[in-house]
Every structure is written in C-alpha cells, then in structure tokens.
Amino acid sequence: MAKAPAIPPAPLTPSRRTTILFGLALVAVLSFLALGLQWGQLLPHGGGVEIAGNFFAAAVQPAFTYEGSDFLPADAPAFLLKVGLALWRTLLYAVAAISLALVLGAVFGVLASEGFWQGRRGGAAVRLAVRWFMAVLRSVHELIWALLFLAAIGLSPAAAVMAIALPYGGTLAKVFAEMLDESSPAAANALHGLGARPLQVFLFGRLPRALADIAAYAFYRFECAVRSSAVLGFFGYTTLGLYIRQSFENLHYREVWAYLYALLLLVLALEAWSSQIRRRFVA
C-alpha cells in the first residue's frame, strides 16, 4: 500500500477570523467598562421591588375597562373602544407614512442602483448625489424628525407622517438599490445581448429578479412603521404611545398592558399577512 502523502502543516499563527472575533469581543467589554455597567442594577431593590411587581403582575390581567374612574370625563368612550381607535389611528399613520416612503424609496432606490445606469451616461454623479441625500434622510431618526417638525410647525398629522416617511424613504432607497444590484445580472446581460435598450434591460431583466426581496423588505419596514407610529404618540399624536404614556403616568399599569397587547396583536396580524404574500411570491 502506498504511503499517504503528508498532511501539510497548519499555519501556526491564529487565523484572521479568530483575531477579528477576539477583537470584537474586546470592543464589547471595553464599552461595558467605559459605561460602568453594573448588571445588578437590573434587579429591582428597595421600593422598586413593589413597583416592578405591580407592573409585571398587571401583565397577566390587562384592563378591559378604565382603571379608576374618578377623573374620567362624562363623555369618555368605552375603554376598549378607546384602545381600538388608538390602534386604528396608529395603523393609519403607518400606512400613510410607508406609502410616501415607498415612493421615495422606489424612485431614489432605482436612481441609486448601478444596474439602472448600465449603458447610460451620468450615472456616477447622480448615484453619488442620491446616496448622500438618502444618507442625510436616514441619519436623522424618526423621533428627531418629529421633534424638528414639532418645533417648526407644531402638532400636525402631516408632520407626523413626514417624520416617519423621510428616514424610512432613505432606508428603503438604500436597501432597494442594494437588492437591485445584488440580484443576478445574468438575465439582464442576456437582454442587453439581444438588443434591448438600457431601460428595458432594467425593467425586465433586473427588476423582476429583485422584486420578491423588495416586497418582503417593504413589509418588514411597514411593521417598523407601525411601531414608530405608536411611539410618536409620546409627542402628543393620538396614537397608542399617547395613551400608553398617560396611563403610565397615572400608574394604570393594566391599561398600559392593554395597549401593548393591542400593538402586539396588530404586529402579529401584519406578520401573518406578509408571510402569506411572501409564500405567493416564492411559490
């Protein structure tokens, strides 16, 4: 029997990957140290034990009617109706905002993609300008946009919608552009080879390949928009956040949980709907 060839010696230096992993772990530990984190603080102590106990005890018995009706105005709607309306308005803001964001994302995502400019002039300059503009839009968080609008024009539904639509548009454009450019160029190249114009190559060779990913990501961002819309209530918009804050300030924890469960139900419903549509795209 022939002797097996010798196994080549393994390199003795730690591999690049190991070095990077250790480096990342070190950065994490350093950031904990810099912040002076004390994990023990996460456990309630003293009077906090009772508050935390009350709060989490309320989780298993969310409110179906108002907690403590002493200060209720005479014309207050039934509690569940109030929850339902808050949820409905949360959804409305999210739908309006994501619709605008999708238009922004589609237009600028296409303009920022490499594939769209293949076979055309002027792509580099436009792409750079669009990518910078989108980076500016999304570098400001929706809560900060809301604050800016609040300072500039006060409480207005249009301002709330724009506060979500602008950063979401920036994010959608960036991700759409990446999805368009990461999809396989094979079909697009074939269409170019059979004499199609650049716009035809893009529309019929590139876009359809990326469409399933784009739709799935748009759905995910819609879900995020619902949460953002709820949180904008903290600034006084009549979405879930407003009532969560009010109930919280009144120490009506069971009401807080009712609102939170309502939000959870909405997000789960959206998830069920989007996964159904995703299955249609994939199958």
Partner 1 sequence: MSSSPAFELAGVQVNLGGRPVLDSLDLRFVAGDMVALIGPSGAGKTTLLRVLNGVIAPSRGHLKMFGQNPADLAEARRRHLRADVGFVHQDHSLVPNLRVLQNVVAGGLGHRGFWSSLRLMIRPVRADLMRAHQLLERVGIGDRMYHRTDSLSGGQQQRVALARALFQSPHALLADEPVSAVDPARARDMIALLTTLAKEEGWTLIASLHDVALAREFFPRLVALREGKVAFDGPPQDLTESAAEAIYRLDG
**Can you give the binding site for partner 1, defined by CB under 8 A?**
119, 186-187, 189-197, 199-200, 203-205, 208-209, 211-212, 281
Q: Which is nearer to partner 1, 187 or 260 (CB)?
A: 187
Token representation of residue 105: 């994302």
CB of 98 to partner 1, least distance (A): 24
Q: Where are the alpha helices (DSSP H) in the chain?
A: 16-35, 48-59, 79-112, 114-117, 123-139, 142-153, 157-182, 186-193, 198-201, 207-232, 240-249, 253-282
CB of 250 to partner 1, least distance (A): 53
Phi, psi (deg, nearest 5) at residue 95: -65, -45
What is 71-114 written as a DSSP string? T--TTPPPHHHHHHHHHHHHHHHHHHHHHHHHHHHHHHHHHH-H
CB of 205 to partner 1, least distance (A): 7
Q: Which is nearer to partner 1, 148 or 196 (CB)?
A: 196
Q: Which is nearer to partner 1, 154 or 193 (CB)?
A: 193
Q: Which is nearer to partner 1, 209 or 221 (CB)?
A: 209
CB of 218 to partner 1, least distance (A): 16
Rounded distance between C-alpha atoms, residue 198 and residue 119, angstroms: 6
